[in-house]
């Protein structure tokens, strides 16, 4: 954030200003639902779908589709076997900036 506050930085000289910043903890929605309904199959499926959505392309491009699918299936089984040990919370850092003329 320093470049947005340093009046000599390129970012500042180009008009970028930091308006606000905050860190937000977002509890895992799948875990929350599992805590309420104890539907382990839905929990494992939902959590696995999220993990797969951001990692499969990279993993499959190296290991191949069949291997990637096998790993994800095994992980889903591990999640279902011990759901109390799994959660996918997010910690997000939001930076609100503006550009002034």
Q: Residue 5 pLDDT more than 90?
A: no
Residue 18: partners with Cβ closer than 8 Å, 6 or more residues away: 1, 4, 5, 95, 96, 97
Mean pLDDT of the chain: 95
Q: Residue 1 pLDDT more than 90?
A: no
pTM of the predicted model, to two decimals? 0.71
Decide: helix, strand or coil at residue 8.
Answer: coil
Measure the CA–CA gap between 1 and 23, rounded to whole angstroms: 13
């Amino acid at each position: 954030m320093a470049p947005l506050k340093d009046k000599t930085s390129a970012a500042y000289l180009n008009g970028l200003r930091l308006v606000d910043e905050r860190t937000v903890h977002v509890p895992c929605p799948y875990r929350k639902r599992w805590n309420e309904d104890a539907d382990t199959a839905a929990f494992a499926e939902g959590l696995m779908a999220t993990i797969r959505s951001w990692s499969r392309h990279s993993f499959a491009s190296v290991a191949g589709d069949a291997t990637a699918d096998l790993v994800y299936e095994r992980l889903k089984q591990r999640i279902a076997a011990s759901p109390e040990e799994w959660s996918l919370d997010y910690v997000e850092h939001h930076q609100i900036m503006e550009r002034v003329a």
